[in-house]
Structure 1
Amino acid sequence: MSLQDEKAQTIEVSDKTYQDEVSVIDLIANATSPPLSTTRIHRFPRMVKEPEEYEKYYVPKVVSIGPYHFGNPKLKMVEKLKPLFTKKLFSNDMEALKNLYNKLSEVERVKELRNYYEEKSTDHFSDKVFTNMMLLDGCFILYYIKFIFGEKFETCQELKSHQIVFIHQDLFLLENQIPFKVLKEVMNLIKDDDHCFKKIIPFINENIFARERPKRRWTCFRNDQSSGEEAKMELENKNSDHLLHLLHQSLTKKQNTPENDFKQTMINRCTNFIGCICFVSHNNRCTFRNVNELMDVGIDFKPSGTMSLAHIEFYKSWWFFSANVELPPITVDDSTKPMLLNLVAYEMCSCDANDSWVTSYICLLDSLIDHPEDVKNLRKAGVLDNSLGSDKEVAKLFNEIGTDLVPNSLAYLEAKNRIQRHYESWRNTLFSQLKHEYVKSPWAFFALIGASIALVLGGVQAYFSVWSPKSQCDDLCLFLKNNHRL
């Protein structure tokens, strides 16, 4: 290639590069912000998990709620029961059913409900089919809550016991939701609506895996003593998008009174800011590994008196080398993993990073649980109720769920910093070494006690040998020594 051809090629490349740069500049100059999404009921991004896991934990087993899994052949049996349950829920009041259908079929209402779902996911449904779906699904959920939830399985002859168990799980899947506004419309039109409002709160609490402890001030919250109006006002204040959102709100609720909300928010922001500075100064990492390591340095675990995952407390005990960490107690059973995964998926799709308390709590438990022995210690402390099987299975469950999760960096920051400082203390490290060497071995412990007693007695003997006062016997011994050369 001649020199002239090389120059021409260089100029051509330069011109192309310049054109590319200009096109990029034009692209940036003409860029506009994408429209804000109105989606409140998301589909789970399948590329995050394997297809087998998606089918196992995110797809309904018995009943389809909403448009995402509507028409699934495997769910046809319960789909056929929805009209029957709707009729029973309204006690054959066809006039009330017509009023409900007319309200849900209004053009603006249909558009509003469609906007809850991802774009174009409901376009293949006509307004009539979509309205029928919302009505039947809303009535099915409330029929289940009012007549089946909390009752003996034999009371529902149309469903088998194993189907009822799976229905309970299906109602809290991320992709199996309808807008909570539909449920409110249904509850406002059925007879004895107070009973529905009263039962929906206990229904949500039954699915909260953070169990309450006895003799707590909020224990009465689980019984049906509150009036329907109070339950209705509570649901209105929560302003939930759907059932899974309501469950998430109950799990992560703050323990502040309305009067102190602003004050507590400012205190939390200041605490988090100071905590961030302290955390960065400590190399931005915690070096403690699991429950056993923390117990070795004198940290005990106790169940907290709250159902909120946003509340974990660390405090010193009476002994200078010991401390306590309060964790929300949880029950682990067959439904725990699907529920946790769907709550995490909800946080990934819908929540602000600062509100991802379920994800942060799972990551905390994952960091505390490495071995079955850690699960055993949490069980003994009353923090964890193992209804799943062996402690090894529970440890495996949290280690699997916690993989690849990213917690809120400010979650439990103050408690983690105080745990780290306690863990790094030389005094607590010395206590841990003594505990390892002597307390866990009975014979070594007895040998330590014997050596300590011998050391004390030797010191006492040396003291009295040097500093004991003179006696008449001492004068006699001195006289005999001087005169008789003893």
Structure 2
Amino acid sequence: MSSHDAALVTKDLFLLENQLPFEVLTKLMSFRNPDHKTRMKILTAFCDQVRAFPPGTELKEKITKFFCELPRSLTLGSSQGPAPDQPAAHLLELLHKQFCSRTIVPEQSEKSSFKNDSQMNWYRYYPAEELRSIGIHFKPSKTGLFTDVQFKRRWLISRSLYIPPLRIDNSTKSLLLNLVAYEASHGESNESRVTSYVCFMDSLIDTPRDVQVLRSKGILLNTLGSDEQAAELFNQIASRLIPDPYAYIQVKSSIEKEHRKVLKKWVAMWLRVYFNSPWTFIAFVAATFTIILTAIQTYIALFPLKDR
């Protein structure tokens, strides 16, 4: 297969309507190669390749290796999270487990505390460019898990929002839509992890400028061609989705609290304007020094020193 054909086959493999039960799939693959030794390595490597960031080895080699060595029986694991209790029913569910292995909803006690706090029952959405203007920095998470979104405070004014990196290409929309469709077919809120992730990203992306902010920080790798196309991708997918209201609730709460602190907004804006580059910093120091000298000169002119 050519690389183009391999990409099309991969897209078809993860369509919800194309899913074969693993019991059938592994039976078919056993005629080709019954070896069990490398089953976990093959499966996880194949799923890793689908969401590779940046792209790694040739995709067609991964597909060939996958079909040649898929074992009869399957006990799933994940290279990025704990192994699930039950094996996946099909390939799409395997990918979902691989990249959504952590919960994004708080414990029951934490849910109760948020319910009792009337001020924390709703949160406004702020685009990435606006959050950057108040001093919130964006950084890629150390894992590719859709659920690995964190808000961390360091020192007095340093605040960072960690988001899993994502490569955006021609297959991204299809992959996200099928993962969302898979979650909708289950009908359980605790399974709405990709749905909640897409809605959260949509809340950060309103315009191409927001995409540029996330792209400049290594969170998005846009291979579609323009930031406008990437922004439209999330806006279109999330237009009719309903996320879990408790997904990323600690992150949303922290962002809302930070946005209400007017003094920190001023400090963040001052740092962004005058310390954005060495040249602006030098200009600021020079201007400050000039003002100080002018003030001293004016004071001496108004109140000359008396000769002793």
TM-score (norm 2): 0.78
2:111 is aligned to 272
Question: Against the structure 1 CA distance between its residues 233 and 393, is the aligned structure 2 distance closer, same or farther, given a 3 Å change threshold?
Answer: same
Matched AA of 1:270: S
1:203 lines up with 2:46 in the alignment: yes
Partner deviation per Cα, 1:318-367 (whole Å, 9 max, x = no partner): 3x223111100000000001111111111111141122111111111111
CA RMSD of aligned residues (A): 3.9
2:16 to 139, 164, 174: 174
Unaligned stretches of 5+ residues in structure 2: 57-65, 78-83
Matched AA of 2:110: T
Question: Against the structure 1 CA distance between its residues 456 and 327, is the aligned structure 2 distance closer, same or farther, given a 3 Å change threshold?
Answer: farther
- Kindly name which structure, 1 or 2, has the bigger radius of gyration based on alpha carbons: 1
Q: 2:31 and 2:54 mapped to 1: Cα distance?
A: 34
SS at match of 2:233: helix
Partner deviation per Cα, 1:193-220 (whole Å, 9 max, x = no partner): 22662422211222236x4899xxxxxx
1:285 is aligned to 123
Q: 1:165 and 1:447 mapped to 2: Cα distance?
A: 52
2:136 to 299, 310, 315: 299
1:402 lines up with 2:245 in the alignment: no
**RCO (CA 8 Å, sep 6+): is it higher in 1 or 2?**
2
Bigger fraction of residues in helix: 1
Contact 1:208/1:247 (<8 A) preserved: no
1:243 to 91, 94, 104: 91
1:252 is aligned to 100
- Give the alignment of 1:398-437 within 5 angstroms: 398-434=234-270
Partner deviation per Cα, 1:28-87 (whole Å, 9 max, x = no partner): xxxxxxxxxxxxxxxxxxxxxxxxxxxxxxxxxxxxxxxxxxxxxxxxxxxxxxxxxxxx
2:176 is aligned to 340
Q: 1:423 and 1:376 mapped to 2: Cα distance?
A: 21
Percent identity, please.
Answer: 31
Matched AA of 1:316: R
Question: Against the structure 1 CA distance between its residues 251 and 437, is the aligned structure 2 distance closer, same or farther, given a 3 Å change threshold?
Answer: closer
Unaligned stretches of 5+ residues in structure 1: 1-152, 155-160, 215-223, 256-263, 467-472, 478-486
Matched AA of 1:245: E
SS at match of 1:407: coil
Matched AA of 2:231: A
Matched AA of 2:19: Q
1:310 lines up with 2:153 in the alignment: no
**Number of positions where the alignment pairs a residue of Structure 1 with one of Structure 2:** 287
1:143 is aligned to none
2:35 is aligned to 193
Contact 2:144/2:166 (<8 A) preserved: no
Question: Against the structure 1 CA distance between its residues 164 and 328, is the aligned structure 2 distance closer, same or farther, given a 3 Å change threshold?
Answer: same
